[in-house]
Chains A and B, each alone.
Chain A
Amino acid sequence: MTRSLNKALLPAGLRDVLPPNASHEAAVVDRLLAGFASHGYGRVKPPLIEFEESLLSGAGAATASQTFRLMDPVSQRMMGLRADITVQVARIATTRLKGAPRPLRLSYAGEVLRVSGSQLRPERQFGQVGIELIGPAVPAADAEAVLLAAEALSAVGIESLSIDLNAPSLVPALCAELKLGAEAAEDLRMALDRKDAAQVAAAGGDTARLLGALLATAGPARRSLEALDKLDLPEKAAAEAGCLARVVDLVLAAAPELKLTIDPVESRGFEYHTGVGFTLFALGVRGELGRGGRYRTDGQGEPATGFTLFMDTVMRALPEPEPGRALFLPWGTPADDGRRLRAEGWVTVSGLEEAGDPSAEARRIGCTHAYIAGAITPVE
């Protein structure tokens, strides 16, 4: 005999979101989208499931190990449940909207599902809200994405935002110019990702010295750029660093108070990125609020940039919603009174039957006020 499963138990990483948190999250998503719309981003809504080949091609390849698959009984082809929305928006841009004028500005909001969570981020389903800016690969486009992310997050109440700018293609460019083997480059990248200066130094030679110096440049943006400037980087790597510098200048010119840091060697999570990338943090909040950066649609296609906000972390970073006011209308309150009160902005909760003392009933069901003999009376 096995005991029947407790009905409340959900699979790992999945959760029910209850009042008032569910409506709070929806309101935050709405405000984010309104912010994107005010900058001319039009919303798209791709489906939850697509054919595996298109979902996991190009930039989508990085999400292959995180994607749930199922067989389509209709077409007999494999489908994937999206683990990321960026790749879907990129697909829309290069297919259905390929004739639309560039730069093309698109926004989206939706849930994604992942095969596994991590210990630090156990959620397997969470909301993604973001934008993609498809068009010319110019520093102004990168700066627009960074600034829009900062503006949208401050507008919903995220305080002490901190943006880390990265150059995910700098280290690969450097490794190629230094003619490192694939295995040595991989080892170095892992050491750089962990900021393991000892491991980088252990690689020895000029490579280690240059990468060690590069590692040491990470820090607040201005200081970091000065340090980068002093390094004697080979041509391609220097060009990547130059790109980063132009984006920083544009961002700081538009928002001088923004807290920017630079980390030129970070490459984790930027598997498909081809230019300036960025990660969003907030003081005192575990993990990333979102990330973005430059990539190519369909791997080799059009240049694009954008960012995605992770709603689970964004909601954790926000203060809990203020409990709202609610007015109890005892059974028998005229319908017109209810309409008038709602028009005045009250949330009304109607009694469905005679219930004795209206104040006590209001308190029992969690209302802050009761409508007694035509007057609004606080119940606390």
Chain B
Amino acid sequence: MLIMPVISGEGALRNDDNLVLALPRGRILDELMPLLSRAGIEPEPALSDSDSRRLSFSTNHPELTLIRVRSFDVATFVAFGAAELGVAGNDVLMEFDYPEIYAPLDLKVGRCRLAVAEPREMVAGDDPARWSHVRVATKYPKITRRYFAARGVQAECITLSGAMELAPSLGLCRRIVDLVATGKTLEANGLVEVERIAEVSARLVVNRAALKTRPDEVGAWIERFREAVDAA
């Protein structure tokens, strides 16, 4: 007879009545603030203070907590049910393609596009029809591979987490796949947008199991955000 130390159930989620809303930090958070306030959420002031080291914030709703994480991590927190709700760009959703995430609402902020760019001097002499293989620097290896595979081109991805625009000029590769908002960063680095992969905007995302097991509460928050978007 062996009595073993009992393993704690890592699969069990937080079993309380709280809801967690995961927000991406950075520029998009500023764009989200008016929307939050129209949805009746007043976060404590530290949320918009980018110098604050805190990661979780209370709101005027005792049952609603906000967390501030990297945009890619919003999808992971929501997919695993660590946060019931979140805000993530559809670039992030396309990259991960988690079946546990529902994206019921386009928040219509954080608009930009996911595009392929290459050096200006390359554009003239380049015939995409002849490609069988490209090397691309990107934060989105899965989307990039899928996009090129659909046109019969194998994409070798160099995964970077920032400053993609430097890669072509330093000879790391000739093309990049990245988010483009105004195109100024591309231009400053001698790059031109050659193809558009997808239009991007921020989405309200919810965890599938949370929506099914708490349809009224989670559904009510989706509705509030819908009204907030419509009022904009």
Contact = CB atoms under 8 A, between A and B. Distances in A.
B6 A286 contact: no
Interface string B4-40: 1011111111110000000000000000000000000
Contact of A284 (B4, B12, B206): B12
A219 interface: yes
B203 A198 contact: yes
B103 A196 contact: yes
Contacts of A347: 1
B104 A164 contact: no
A261 interface: yes
Nearest to A190: B97
B7 A286 contact: no
Contacts of B4: 18-21
A: contact size bracket? 35 or more
Contacts of B101: 194
A343 interface: no
Given A287-B209, A323-B6, A268 B99 contact: yes
Interface stretch (B151-159, B163-171, B211-219): B211-219
Given A320-B6, A365-B1, A286 B213 contact: no
Interface string A151-170: 00000000010101000000
A160 B103 CA distance: 25
Interface residues of B, number: 37
A285 B80 CA distance: 10
B212 A279 contact: yes
**Chain B interface secondary structure, helix, strand, loop or mixed?**
loop
A110 B203 CA distance: 41
Contacts of B73: none
B105 interface: yes
A320 B7 CA distance: 8
Nearest to A322: B6
Nearest to A318: B9
Contacts of A197: 104-106
A120 interface: yes
Contacts of A220: 215-216
Contacts of A261: 212, 215
Interface string A181-200: 00000000000011111100
Interface in A226-274: 259, 261, 263, 268
Contacts of A321: 6
A364 B17 CA distance: 41
A316 interface: yes
B100 A287 contact: yes
Interface string B215-228: 11001000000000
B155 to A, nearest CB: 22
Nearest to A195: B102
A160 B16 CA distance: 12
B231 interface: no
A194 B215 contact: no
Contact of B104 (A120, A196, A279, A324): A196
A157 B15 CA distance: 16
B6 A20 contact: yes
Contact of B7 (A21, A162, A365): A21
B2 interface: yes
Contacts of B7: 21, 320
Contacts of B103: 194-196
A286 B3 contact: no
Interface in A116-145: 118-120
A285 B104 contact: no
B147 to A, nearest CB: 15
A278 B102 CA distance: 18
A287 B79 CA distance: 9
A317 B213 CA distance: 13
Nearest to B81: A286
Given A196-B103, A283-B214, A286-B209, A19 B13 contact: no
B9 A367 contact: no
A194 B102 contact: yes
B2 A19 contact: yes
B180 interface: no
A196 B222 CA distance: 12
Nearest to A118: B99
B3 A323 contact: yes
A160 B6 contact: no
Contacts of A194: 93, 101-103
Nearest to A201: B106
Interface string B191-211: 000000000010100100100
Interface of A: 18-21, 118-120, 160, 162, 164, 193-198, 219-220, 259, 261, 263, 268, 279, 281-288, 313, 316-317, 319-321, 323-324, 326, 347, 349, 365-367
10 contacts: A19-B2, A19-B4, A120-B79, A194-B101, A196-B104, A196-B203, A282-B213, A286-B80, A326-B3, A347-B1
7 closest residue pairs by CB, A with B: A316-B11, A198-B106, A366-B3, A195-B102, A284-B15, A162-B213, A195-B104
Given A365-B1, A366-B3, 18 more contacts: A18-B4, A19-B2, A20-B6, A119-B79, A195-B102, A195-B103, A196-B104, A197-B104, A259-B213, A281-B209, A283-B15, A283-B214, A284-B12, A286-B13, A287-B100, A288-B209, A324-B3, A366-B2
